[in-house]
Structure 1
Amino acid sequence: MPFSRAQKADFLLLVVTLLAAISWMFSREAVLAMPPLLFMSLRFLLASFLLSLVALPQLAKLDVGQLWRCVRVGLVFGIAMSFWVLGLAFASHVGEGAFLTSLGVVLVPVIARVVFAESVPGSTWLALPVAVAGLALLSLEQGLHLEAGQLLFITAAAIFALYFNLNTRAANTIAIRRANGEIVEHTRIPALALTTVVLAVVGVVTGVLSLCFEPWQSALSDLTGTLIMWIVLSATVGTALRFLVQTYAQSLSLQSHGVVIMVLEPMWTALMAAAWFGEGMSTLQLLGCGLIFLSLLVNRWRAVRKLIRIG
C-alpha cells in the first residue's frame, strides 16, 4: 500500500528527530573545545557548500522574491541557532536543554496566530500552562530563577517557532491577501534550494557574531583532528541531511502530524546523552521534562488521537 504525502512527511520527520538528537551529541563535543558561534558558522557554511554542489540548477531558477523569502527564513533561523548554541555552551545538562528547546513546538501555532493571523486550536491554551509548570520544576533546583543556559534555550525555542512557520510557508505554495484585498500567490521554493540558502545565511549570521565577540586566532590554531571530525559530522549528518529532510517533509503536507512526531527529539536526545555523557536526571528534572512533553502532546491532541485510532 503506497504512502500518502502526509504519511511520507510523518515518516521523514521521525527520521529528522533521530538526526537532530545525534546532532546534539556532535555539537556538544565541539562547543566544549571551541567558541560556539564560530563552530556554528563553520558547520552551516560547510553544510550549505556541500548542498550547493547539487542545488545549482534549482538555485539558478530562483527569482528575487523567492531568494528574499529564503534569506528571511535564514535570518530568523540564524538568530535562533545563535541563542541555541550559546545555551548549549552554558548548559549543565544536554537532555534538559533538548526538552526546553522543544517548547518551540508548542509555540508554533501561537506565533502563527500573532504573525500570520491564523487560528489557534483550543488545545494550545491548555498546553501552555502545563509547559510553564514543567519549566517551574526545572528551575526549582536553582531557586526561583532559571540558569543562563535555560533562558537561552527558551529564547531559542520561541524564535524556532517563527522559523518553523516561515519555513513551512516558503516550502509550500500559499495565497496571501494584501491590505487592498488583492490575493497574491507565492509559489513554493524547492526544498534543496531553500535549505541551501537558509543554511548559508545562518552561517553568515553566526560568523559575523563570532567575529565580533569571539577569539578566532587561538580557536583556529587549536584545531585537532577530533574537533574537525565533530565539525564535519555536524555539518553533514546534523545539518545538511537533517534540514534537507525536514524541509522536504514540510513541503509534502501542511496538514501532517509532523509537530507531534518532532516532540520525540528530546526523548532521543535525553537517551543518547545518558549513554554518551553519562547524564542523569533528578526527580524534579524528570517531572519537569515529563510535564513539558505532556504539554506537547496536549497541544496536538487531535493528531495524537487520530494516530491512536489509525494504530
Structure 2
Amino acid sequence: MTAPVQTTSVLRAYSCLLVAVVCWGVEYPLMKRATAAVGFCGTGAVMFSISAVLLGLTLAGRRVFGRGERMPKAPGSGQRARLPIRTMLLVGVVGITVNVLGLWAVKLTRVVNVATLARADALFSLVLSAWVFGEPIGRRAWFFVPVMLGGIGLLTGFLLHPLEVGNPGDYLILASAFGVALNAYAIKKAVQSVSGLVVGCVNSTMIGLFFVILVACQSREVWQDVTAEAWAALVMLGVLAYLFFASYNTALRSIPVWKVRLVCLLIPVVAALTAWAWFGDRPSSVQVLGMGLILAGAAGIIVVRDCPVSPASSAGGKNAAETMESGRQICTG
C-alpha cells in the first residue's frame, strides 16, 4: 500500500470516528427527552429497530448497485473466509449486556457517577491493549491520558465534588464500561473479515429485538400519549444510532482500539454543547476548561506517532534502517 493511499485510509477512519463521536454525543440530550416520554425500554426498542432497518436497507442498496464488499480470502487458501458469525453474535450479546447494565445503573446511582465512571472504558482499553491484546501504545500517548481524564473530572464536576462511590449502581457502570472496551476488540476482529455495516446491523438487530421483547411484556398505556415531539426525538435517535454504528465500526477497522476509546472521551463535550444549544444548559467556566483539556488531549492522541521500543531493537538485533521501517509499520493507523 502506497503512502498516499495509507494517508487517505487513515483520514477516512478518523473522519468516521469523529462522526461517531458527534452522533453519540448528540444522542444523550435527545435520549433524556425520549425516555421521559416512553421509558428506557421503549426508547431502546424504537432507536435500535430504526437503526437495524436503515443498516439493512443500506446493505441491500450496496448489493443492488454492486458496491457490496467481498469476503477476503482466508490465509493460505484460495477460498473466501467464512462470516465471523460467532464473533458478531458475541458483539450483540455484549451490546445487550452493556445496555442493560447501564440502564439498570441509572436507576441506582447519581447522574454524575454515571457520567464519570462510564469513562473508565478508556482505561480498560489501555490495560487490555497493553497487557492482553498486545496493541502497541506510543510512550507520548500516556501523557495525554491524565490530561483527558482531568478534563472529564472538571466537566462532570467530580474533581470539585468528590464522588461517593459504593452504590451497587456504580459497580454496574464499571462493569458496563469494561463491556464497552471488550466489545470494541470483538468488533475490530469481526470487521477484518466483513463490512462494518454487517456487524452493526447484526448488533443493532439483536439489541433492538431484546428491547422489543421487554416492551411487549409491559403495559401499552405509555404509548397512547406520546407527543409528536417525542416521536421526532425517537426517530432522530434511530438515525443517529445508524450513523454511529456505520462510522464507529469503520473506524475500528483501521485505528487501534485504545486510541478509538480515548477519542470517544470527546462524547461528553459534544453532549454538553448540544444540551447548551438545544436546551439552554449553559456550561460553567470550569466545565469549559474541562472541555478544552479533553479537546487538547484528543488532538494529541490523534496526531501522536511515538512507538514503544521493541526488545529486539533495543538489544541491537536490527540495524537502524530496519528499526525505522518496523516503526513506520507499527505506527500506521
> Conserved in 2, the CA contact under 8 Å of 1:5 and 1:253?
no
* Bigger Rg, which one: 2
Q: Distance in 1 between matches of 2:252 and 2:301?
A: 19
Residue 194 of structure 1 is matched in structure 2 by 199
CA distance in 2, matches of 1:150, 1:279: 25
Matched, 1:52 2:69: no
Measure, in 1, the Cα distance between the counterparts of 2:102 and 2:26: 16
Name the aligned partner's letter for residue 233 of structure 1: M
SS in 2 for 1:8: helix
Which residue, out of 5, 11, 19, partners 1:7?
11
Return closer, same or farther for 1:80/1:114 CA change in 2, 3 Å cut-off.
farther
Distance in 2 between residues matched to 1:14 and 1:37, nearest whole Å: 28
Cα distance in 1 for residues equivalent to 2:109 and 2:164: 18
Select the residue among 120, 126, 129 that pairs with 1:109: 126
Question: 2-side partners of 1:286 and 1:161: how far apart?
Answer: 27
* Equivalent in the alignment of 1:273: 275
Segment of structure 1 superposing worse, 269-278 or 41-50: 269-278
Q: How does 1:115-130 map to 2 (within 5 A)?
A: 116=133, 127=145
The aligned residue for residue 30 of structure 2 is 26
Find the counterpart in structure 1 of residue 320 from structure 2: none
What is the identity, as a one-letter code, of the residue corresponding to 1:79? T
- Residues 90 and 42 (structure 1), Cα distance of their counterparts in 2 relative to 1, 3 Å cut: farther
What corresponds to 2:232 in structure 1?
229
- Counterpart selection for 1:247 from 239, 246, 249: 249
| 1:12 Cα deviation after fit | 1.7
Query: C-alpha separation between the residues in 1 aligned to 2:38 and 2:263?
Result: 32
Matches of 2:183 and 2:20 in 1, distance apart?
16
Per the TM alignment, residue 156 of structure 1 is displaced from its structure 2 partner at its CA by 2.6
Q: Distance in 2 between matches of 1:306 and 1:286?
A: 28
- What SS is found at the alignment partner of 2:220? helix
Q: Which residue of 1 aligns with 2:41?
A: 37
* 2:279 aligned partner, one-letter code: F
| Alpha-carbon distance between aligned partners in 2 of 1:216 and 1:36, rounded to the nearest angstrom | 14
Q: In the TM superposition, what whole-angstrom CA distance separates every residue of 1:152-178 from its partner, at most 9, and x where no partner exists?
A: 544432211111111112111xxxxxx
- SS of residue in 2 equivalent to 1:5: helix
In structure 2, relative to structure 1, the CA distance for the partners of 1:143 and 1:196 (3 Å cut) is: closer
**Are 1:263 and 2:281 counterparts?**
no
CA shift for structure 1 position 244? 0.6
Note the residue ranges of structure 2 that are not aligned, 5 or more in a row: 72-79, 307-333
Taking a change above 3 Å as real, the CA distance of residues 107 and 293 of structure 1, as seen in their structure-2 partners, is: farther
Counterparts of 1:10 and 1:171, CA distance in 2: 16
Distance (Å, rounded) in 2 between the aligned partners of 1:14 and 1:263: 11
Deviations 1:224-261 (A, max 9, x none): 3222211111011x211121111122224448954443
Residue 162 in 1 paired to residue 166 in 2? Answer: no
Q: Could you list the per-position Cα deviations for residues 163-214 of structure 1 after superposition, in whole angstroms to 9, with x for gaps in the alignment?
A: 1111112111xxxxxxxxxxxxxxx1112211111111111233445556xx
Deviations 1:69-106 (A, max 9, x none): 21111111121123334556778658x85554333123
Gaps of 5+ in 1: 173-187
- Corresponding position of 1:178: none
Deviations 1:264-302 (A, max 9, x none): 222111222233333356788788x679949x949x966
Question: Aligned residue pairs: how many?
Answer: 285
Structure 1 residue corresponding to 2:84, chosen from 49, 56, 66: 66
Q: How far apart are residue 68 of structure 1 and its match?
A: 2.2
The structure-2 alpha-carbon separation of the partners of 1:29 and 1:73, relative to structure 1 and needing over 3 Å to count, comes to: same
Task: Please name the residue that 2:96 is paired with.
Answer: 78
* RMSD of aligned alpha carbons: 4.4
* TM-score, length basis structure 2: 0.67
Question: Could you tell me how far apart the structure 2 residues matched to 1:105 and 1:278 are?
Answer: 29
Per the alignment, residue 184 of structure 1 pairs with none
Give the AA of the match of 1:265. I
Specify the SS of the correspondent of 1:13.
Answer: helix
Structure 1: distance between partners of 2:279 and 2:172:
21
Q: Does the residue aligned with 1:145 lie in a helix, a strand or coil? A: coil
Greater alpha carbon shift after TM alignment, 202-211 vs 148-157? 148-157
SS of 1:33's equivalent in the other structure is: helix
Distance 2:110 2:174 in 1: 15
CA separation of 1:137 and 1:89: change in aligned 2, threshold 3 A: same
Match for residue 144 of structure 1?
164
Segment of structure 1 superposing worse, 82-91 or 131-140: 131-140
